């Protein structure tokens, strides 16, 4: 059980003992839960984006990598040839 759920259970199990630490704990649990929910939604959006555009991105990335490698290799070869 995550700590945020545990603090919620403790807070809900003792409704008569509403004090500052329990209120702060509940606020912290709400904050952590909202962060977790935001992270989950953000990860899901990233997964959907990557799943939909993975093929295009992979092709584009490989093409760019090959072009950059060829350019770097040609530049290095020309530079070495000039020095040599």
d(CA 68, CA 55): 20
Cα separation, 62 vs 79, in Å, equals 25
Contact 39, 2 (CB under 8 A): no
Q: Where are the domains of the chain?
A: 3-83
pLDDT digits over 50-62, tens only? 666 655 555 555 5
Question: How does pLDDT run across 17-73, given as a tens digit for each residue?
Answer: 566 777 788 888 888 888 888 888 888 877 776 666 655 555 555 544 444 444 444
pTM of the model: 0.31
CB 30 within 8 A of CB 11: no
Answer for the pair 32, 4: CB distance below 8 angstroms, yes or no: yes
54 is written with which tokens? 């993975």
Tell me what pLDDT residue 17 has.
54
């Amino acid at each position: 059980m995550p700590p945020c759920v545990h603090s919620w259970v403790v807070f809900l199990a003792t409704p008569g003992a509403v004090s500052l630490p329990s209120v702060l704990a509940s606020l912290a649990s709400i904050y952590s839960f909202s962060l977790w929910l935001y992270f989950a939604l953000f990860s899901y959006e990233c997964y959907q984006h990557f799943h939909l555009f993975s093929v295009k991105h992979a092709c584009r990335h490989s093409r760019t990598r090959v072009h950059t490698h060829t350019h770097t290799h040609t530049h290095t070869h020309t530079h070495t040839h000039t020095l040599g």
